[in-house]
Amino acid sequence: MKWIIKMFSSTIGQKFIMALTGLFLCAFLIVHTLGNLQLFKSDGGLAFNTYSVFMSTNPVIKCISYLLYATILLHAIKGFMLLRKNKKARPIDYAVQGGSANSHWTSRSMGILGTILLLFIVVHMYNFWFEYKFGHVPFTSYFTNMATGETKFQPMSADYVQANKMEEGMISNEQGQFRVVVVKDLFKEVEISFKEWWLVALYVICMFSVSFHLYHGFQSAFQTLGINHSKYNGLIQFIGVWFFSIFIPIAFAAMPLYFFFK
Amino acid sequence: MEKHLNLTLKIWRQKNAKAKGNFEAYKMTGISTDMSFLEMFDVLNERLVNDNIDPIAFDHDCREGICGACSMVINGRPHGPKNAITTCQLHMRSFNDGDTITVEPWRASPFPIIKDLVVDRSSFDRIMAAGGFVSTNTGSAQDANCTLISKEAADESLAAAACIGCGACVAACKNASAMLFVSAKVSQFALLPQGQPERKKRVLEMVAQMDTEGFGACTNTGACSAECPKEISLTHIARMNRDYLMAELC
Amino acid sequence: MTTSKLDSKIPEGSLEQKWSKYRSTVPLVNPSNKRSLEILIVGSGLAGASAAASLSELGYKVKVFCYQDSARRAHSIAAQGGINAAKNYQNDGDSTYRLFYDTIKGGDYRAREGNVYRLAEVSSSIIDQCVAQGVPFAREYGGLLSNRSFGGTQVQRTFYAAGQTGQQLLLGAYSSLQRQVGSGNVKMYARHEMLDVVNIDGVCRGIIARDLTTGKLERHFGHAVLLCTGGYGNAFYLSTNAMGCNATAIWKAHKKGALFGNPCFTQIHPTCIPVSGDHQSKLTLMSESLRNDGRIWVPKKHEDAKALQENRIKPNDIKEEDRDYYLERRYPAFGNLVPRDVASRAAKERCDAGFGVNKTGEAVFLDFAFNTIRYGTIEANKKGIHNPTEAQLIELGRGVIKEKYGNLFDMYQQITGVNPYEQPMMIYPAVHYTMGGLWVDYNLMTSVSGLYCLGEANFSDHGANRLGASALMQGLADGYFVIPYTIGAYLSKEIGTKPISLDHPAFVEAENAVKSNIDKLFAIKGTHSVDYFHKKLGLIMWNKCGMARNATHLKEAIVEIQELRKQFWSDLRVTGTADEFNAELEKAGRVADFFELGELMCMDALNRQESCGGHFREEYQTEEGEAMRDDENYKYVAAWEYFEGNKWEMHKEDLIYDNIKIAARSYK
């Protein structure tokens, strides 16, 4: 065990931690993006709400989510520790800064970009995760016509509660057979939240932070892990730039904008 | 063609390790564009001696870009505005008439200032002493052609071994990290059959010493390689990371 | 003149067996005794670092001193071209004997047979040793070591690592040294300058060193002291040496009894970047390997030369038939690859005749155009391009040239601002290496017991001229393979010597003398900087004791140096104090020594009434302007003994050639 501690306390070891946790967070972002794309479905939020229930109740996903929280914390704490160590290595700074001539500004700003992201995650989790888990999120019932597949929904009264986040059943009447789902309506929560212009602005701005952090971070993680070869550097760079620093932030930023203008 | 420049120099002056330093400004007139940057310092120092002022202390020796002694951060960039050269190879034709040039020492806590622009880089020697060698005693070597080494490996190894130990990588890095310096040596030996027996031990001990000296961590900004007078590649840092991981894991 | 002082101690026996027999019979020191024997090594270049590592590996306690901030910065690092070794890997007829012969002949028959043969013998082991250390020499595609040819030889025996062979070899020795430092067997004193040796009863017992950071004077005891401090080319101010290179260590030793051998033997390197102005602080060498592919020429017509000097025409405006490829003309067999002294003198001869090609008239062209086209043609053939255009040939050829010399071309452009791919380089000879140095015997011991001298600092192996790629060979031979054996002969008798107290009167006295010398420099409080005097000394040396010398000039030089020295000691200004980092003080001490050495160099040059190797006396030349040696009267080593007040007495060591037939040195 001693060697593990020794390994992860060296500068290179600490950077391994940053790289591994960073890449894990990148992987999470993929899932998070794809899942949240369901917000754009015009089913009154049924798919998104069902997905939210699944993500917050499935024991495997739950385990992974705790791992995720730990990873975020570890990535942030390690990041701050390294920042302090690095500052100590250069106690007096240069009077003239020449960094722009030798490196990309994103790579020199990972600390500040990361800090913005950490603050964003706190706000974001308060807005949705905390509200969903501990706050008062209203329920909505969805009726899906089994013959036509058409879905109608109706909010439940504000004081309605049920034991589980989601209950479902089948009913039949003269109009046909229906699948009825009564579920905590996180979708509604999203819809309401993103009517606030300042929150939308905050989210969009923070997505720039995501973009810049990943522009350097994704490729950097591979370098830290020793993966640098002319044969596949192009691919890593392509994914880092086009997928992580362009596609993902745009997809995320589109969500608040979509609801704001809807 | 030769031209003459008028310049203002802002140079870091610090009497000794403990003293508090500050910038002093010096006006220079009629500096030939054929002069090297250090020859301009000679001219200035000559003037200071004539004025009975302590001349500016700076490290320099070979003045042909190979000994690695010279070490000035010029307008925020180690070894000045041009790539792939040392301060002593920088010529005044790289500047314009009327320029203000700020000159600072390498700034890193493992490189304490001795005087003015002179810093103590013995931390590099200690890293080398920790493992930057192949343990072979004089006289015990086999015939040089007994071990074949591919041209590619030899060339790549030489590209790493070209490091002159000037410390520009540390000076350029926002974290004052020595990863490029250490990786150049680790990589040189990792690429050669002679380096294999001690490969794991070497990387572990050199990295441990690097940490003991108090250098920062690597953020992969690439500033080190961009400012390196010998253009040592970042691939060597990746190789060292890989070797370190392997050495710790297996 | 006496010869009694000079016993070269060359072992008896046939040339081939001298060293192997000596090695097998030299007294050894028992491993446990080695631990209590201390060796001080001054200088950390190829000779110093390799000796320190090797002796430490054997078990001796070693201390190493260097003035630079790290052992790795010693000026050996700047050697570009390569290192010779008689490996005969190319199957082109090389052998130990041929390397020995080439070196003796290259040195114009002014080196000892025994020493040089030993050098040739151990040359192979050096390559083995360096490869084992992980020195990345150039390789062929098949994985074997690559070789190139160098001036003064007709075989390919030079091993190289691009244009930075010296760097790679030094870093190899440095890494071995650091290994010993890490294991605690070597104590390293960087930023320390030796300012005197301490002799007790005629035996060297230690040194006085100044910590250049704090200014503190330190006393160090050693059972033996090795001076590996390189050459004294900076006596000329402008040279290819590093700014800090100095003669102080060997000069102090000389003043304490070590004889100085052949001080006037200076090598002027033919391919350096010409002086650009008064601000010039040093001269940059362009590797001799460039002469493999570069052709040296000046215009045939005076009017063309004049136009070039006034910058009215470009070199490429001069037609082929109006160019004088003077080396090819004068030396058809060796052409552009004649030894350095010959090439340098030929350049001077043309420039003196008014054919120089830059504004000062002191430069010749080194032109790659011909070989660019030749390489281009080869490449075009390889690529199957039929009827290539000239532009295509030039482009392909430049690719090859770039691969071979890219770093040198970049360096040239950096310094001159001229693109050498498009215009021929301009070069001129510059002081590069000093063959002279402290006189040593076969054991590398000076005339003072216990005081050794290795590498360029000694006089031993290169005679009157050193061949390219032989300096690295000698430095490493001395350090890796000679001193570890020969020092045993002395130290085996020293095992009973207990470390001498640093409070011994000899140490105290030496330190006081050093201190008073420093105080004296500060006390002058004159008006001129050290550089002011150094530049003036350099000019006297270059003009009157440089590439071509004559009795009148040398006599004048001696007087001028003496006068300038007086002025130095009455009008020098050293700023700052002695107890701090003070570069002016360091320089002042070194230049003070150059003043004395400079005078001795002129005296030696005046004494040697012949032309040999790097020493060219205008009075002694053939009608064609070739050097004229006088073997009858000057086939000896001039070893000078110092007496108080800058007086010298010369001792002769006759050179005996049993194995080589002395002949005129011809490269025609």
DSSP A134-153: TS---EEEEEEETTT--EEE
Q: List the single residue in A with minimal CA-CA distance to B247.
A: A7
Q: How much is the pLDDT for A163?
A: 86
Q: Is the reported ipTM for this assembly greater than 0.85?
A: yes
C contact test, residue of B62, B85, B166, B188 with most C CBs within 10 A:
B62
**What letter does residue C448 receive in the DSSP assignment?**
S
Return d(Cα B214, Cα B228) in angstroms, integer. Answer: 21
Of B104, B135, B152, the one marking the end of a domain is B104
CA distance B250 to chain C (A): 24
Give the C-alpha separation, C602 to C561, whole Å.
Answer: 10
In angstroms, the CA C654 to CA C445 distance is 18
For B23, the closest of A6, A95, A99 (CB atoms) is A95
CB-CB: which of C133, C143, C531 is closest to B134?
C133
Residue of B nearest to C479 (CA): B138
Q: Where are the beta strands (DSSP E) in chain B?
A: 4-13, 22-32, 73-74, 77-78, 100-104, 113-115, 118-119
Neighbours of chain B (3+ CB pairs under 8 A): A, C
Q: Do A90 and B174 touch (CB under 8 A)?
A: yes
Q: Give the model's pLDDT for residue C666.
A: 78
Residue C104 CA to residue C113 CA, distance in Å, equals 7
Which residues on A lie below 8 Å from B240 (Cβ)? 12, 226
Place of tokens 């060193």: C209
Query: A98, B76: Cβ pair inside 8 Å?
Result: yes
What are the residues of chain A with a beta carbon less than 8 Å away from any beta carbon of chain B?
Answer: 3, 6-7, 10-16, 82, 85-86, 88-99, 101-104, 107-108, 110, 216, 219-220, 223-229
Integer Cα distance of C136 and C117 in angstroms: 27
Nearest chain C CA: its distance from B75 CA (Å): 19
Q: Is some CB atom of chain A closer than 8 A to the CB atom of B172?
A: yes
For each of the domains in chain C, give its residue range(s) and CATH number, in order of start: 23-233+446-491 (3.50.50.60), 270-428 (3.90.700.10), 525-654 (1.20.58.100)
3-state secondary structure at position B6: strand
B47 with B139, same domain?
Answer: no
Instruction: Please name the residues between 129 and 168 in chain B that touch chain A, using a CB distance below 8 Å.
Output: none
Question: Of the residues B104, B130, B154, which one is the last residue of a structural domain?
Answer: B104
On whether both B211 and B136 belong to a single domain, the answer is yes
By the 10 Å C-beta count (0-12 exposed, 13-18 middle, 19+ buried), C519 is classed as exposed
- How distant, in Å, are the alpha carbons of A177, A192, A257 from that of A199? 41, 11, 10
Q: Check CB contact under 8 Å for B84 and C128.
A: no
Q: Which residue has the tokens 């993929």?
A: A30
B234: nearest CB among A99, A216, A223: A223
Residue B66 in domain: yes
3-state SS assignment for residue C235: helix
Q: Domain boundary at B52, B77, B104, which?
A: B104
A158 or C600, greater pLDDT: C600
B14 Cβ under 8 Å from any chain A Cβ? no
Using CB atoms, pick whichever of B34, B122, B133 lies closest to residue C276.
Answer: B34
Q: B116 lies in a domain?
A: no
Using alpha carbons, select from C376, C436, C383 the residue that is nearest to residue C400: C376
Task: Give how far Cα C494 sits from Cα of B243, C206, C497, Å.
Answer: 47, 14, 5
**H helix intervals, C337-447:** 340-350, 369-383, 390-416
Q: Confidence class of residue C27 from pLDDT cuts 50, 70 and 90?
A: very high
Under 8 Å CB-to-CB from A165, ≥6 apart: which residues?
A52, A53, A56, A57, A183, A184
Cβ-nearest to C242 among B62, B143, B144: B62
Q: Is the pLDDT of residue C191 over 90?
A: yes
Does residue C140 sit at the B interface (CB-CB below 8 Å)? yes
Q: How far apart are CA B172 and CA B73, in angstroms?
A: 9
Q: What is the CATH number of the domain that holds B155?
A: 1.10.1060.10
Amino acid at C270: P
Q: Is residue B15 located within the same domain as residue B48?
A: yes
* Any B CB within 8 A of C56 CB: no
pLDDT 10s digits, C635-654 = 999 999 999 999 999 999 99
Q: Inter-chain contact A102–B222, Cβ cutoff 8 Å?
A: yes
- Across chain C, what does the average pLDDT equal? 95
- The minimum CA-CA distance between A78 and chain B, rounded to whole Å, is 12
Confirm or reject contact between B62 and chain C (CB < 8 A).
yes
Angle in degrees, CA C161, C163, C167, rounded to 5:
70
Q: Are B190 and B159 contained in the same domain?
A: yes
Residues B97 and B131 in one domain: no
Same domain, B89 and B187: no
Domain that holds residue B29: 4-104
Is the pLDDT assigned to residue C151 strictly greater than 80? no
Regarding chains C and A, contact by 3 or more CB pairs under 8 A is answered as: no
Interface test with B, best of C20, C46, C73 (most B CBs within 10 A): C73
Asked if residue B224 lies in contact with residue B180, where contact means CB atoms within 8 angstroms, the answer is yes
B92 touches chain A (CB under 8 A): no
In a domain, B133, yes or no: yes
Q: For residue C1, what pLDDT band results from cuts at 50, 70 and 90?
A: very low
Judgement on whether residues B86 and B137 belong to the same structural domain of the protein:
no
Residue of B nearest to A104 (CA): B221
Q: If you search the block for the tokens 């000026």, which residue do you land on? A: C75
Is B113 strand, coil or helix?
strand
Mean pLDDT value across residues C456-481: 96
Q: What is the pLDDT of residue C2?
A: 47
Interface with A, mutate which of B169, B221, B236 (most A CBs under 10 A): B221
**Whether pLDDT at C3 is above 70:** no
pLDDT tens for chain A, residues 1 to 262: 788 888 899 999 999 999 999 999 999 999 999 999 999 998 999 999 999 999 999 999 999 999 999 999 999 999 999 999 999 999 999 999 999 999 999 999 999 999 999 999 999 999 999 999 898 899 999 999 998 888 999 999 888 988 889 999 999 988 889 999 999 999 999 999 999 999 999 999 999 999 999 999 999 999 999 999 999 999 999 999 999 999 999 999 999 999 999 8
Indicate the angle between helix axes C165-182 and B151-161, nearest 10 degrees: 70
Q: Is C350 annotated as catalytic?
A: no
B235 touches chain A (CB under 8 A): yes
Contacts of B196 in chain C (CB under 8 A): none
Q: Write the residue in C72, C131, C281 that is nearest to B42 by C-beta.
A: C281
Residue C211 near residue C218, CB atoms below 8 Å: yes
pLDDT digits (tens, 9 = 90+) for B49-103: 999 999 999 999 999 999 999 999 999 999 999 999 999 999 999 999 999 999 9
Residue C91 class from Cβ within 10 Å (0-12 exposed, 13-18 middle, 19+ buried)? Answer: exposed
| 3-state SS assignment for residue C340 | helix
> Does some domain include residue B82?
yes
Question: Rounded to an integer, what distance in angstroms lies between the CA atom of residue C120 and that of residue C15?
Answer: 11
Cβ proximity of C6 and C439 under 8 Å:
yes
- Closest residue, chain B, to C180 (C-alpha): B129
Tell me the C-alpha distance between C472 and C476, whole Å.
6
Here the tokens at position B117 are: 């622009």
CB pair distance less than 8 Å for A82 and B226: no
Query: Are B63 and C129 an interchain contact pair (Cβ–Cβ within 8 Å)?
Result: no
Selecting from C132, C181, C580 the residue whose C-beta is nearest the C-beta of B134 gives C132
In chain B, residues 110-169 whose CB comes closer than 8 Å to chain C? 114-115, 118, 120-122, 124-125, 128-145, 147-151, 154-155, 157-158, 161-162, 164-165
Q: Is residue B115 part of a domain?
A: no
Per the domain annotation, does B212 fall within a domain?
Answer: yes
- Chain B residues with CB under 8 Å of C243 CB are 60-63
> No. of H helices and E strands in chain A?
11, 4
> Do C169 and C130 contact (CB within 8 A), yes or no?
yes
Q: Please, are residues C556 and C529 in contact by the beta-carbon 8 Å criterion?
A: no
Total Cβ atoms within 10 A of residue B147? 13
Distance CA A37, CA A34 (A): 5
3-state secondary structure at position C121: helix
pLDDT-based confidence at C328, cuts 50/70/90? very high
| Structural contact between residues C209 and C217, judged by C-beta atoms closer than 8 angstroms | yes
What is the number of CB-based contacts under 8 A between chain A and chain B?
144
Residues B141 and B98 in one domain: no
Instruction: Judge whether B211 is closer than 8 Å to chain C, CB to CB.
Output: no
Q: How much is the average pLDDT of C117-146?
A: 97
Same domain, B26 and B88: yes
Question: Would you state the structure tokens that stand for residue C144, as one six-digit string?
Answer: 């074997």
Q: At what angle do helices A59-89 and A46-57 cross, to 10 degrees?
A: 80
**pLDDT over threshold 80, residue C152:** no
- Tell me if B177 sits within 8 A of B137, measured CB to CB: no
Picking from B76, B216, B237, the nearest residue to A96 by CB comes out as B76
Alpha-carbon gap, residue C311 to A77, rounded angstroms: 66
Say yes or no: B134 and B221 in one domain. yes
Residue of chain B minimizing CA distance to A221:
B220
Shared domain for B126 and B60, answered yes or no, is: no
pLDDT at C4: 58
Q: For the domain that residue B95 is a member of, what is the CATH number?
A: 3.10.20.30
Q: Which of C25, C71, C314, C80 is nearest to C186 (CA)?
A: C71
**Among the listed residues C436, C435, C453, the one whose alpha carbon sits nearest the alpha carbon of residue C444:** C453
Nearest neighbour of A98 by CB, restricted to B75, B234, B240 = B75
Give residues with Cβ within 8 angstroms of A5, minimum separation 6.
Answer: none
- All partners of chain C with 3 or more CB pairs under 8 angstroms: B
Closest alpha carbon to C208 in C224, C191, C222, C220 = C220
pTM for this model (two decimals): 0.96
Chain C nearest-CA distance from B24, in A, is 18
B46 and C529 within 8 Å at the Cβ level: the answer is yes
From the candidates C112, C118, C291, C340, give the one annotated as an active-site residue: C340
Whose tokens are 């590649």? That residue is: B233
What's the total number of domains in chain B?
2
**Minimum mean pLDDT among A72-76, B194-198, C257-261, C341-345: which range?**
C341-345
Cβ–Cβ gap B67/C75 under 8 Å: yes
Cα separation, B228 vs C428, whole angstroms: 30
Verify that B41 and B132 share a domain, yes or no.
Answer: no
Given this model, what pLDDT does residue B156 score?
97
Question: Could you tell me the pLDDT band of residue B112, with boundaries at 50, 70 and 90?
Answer: very high
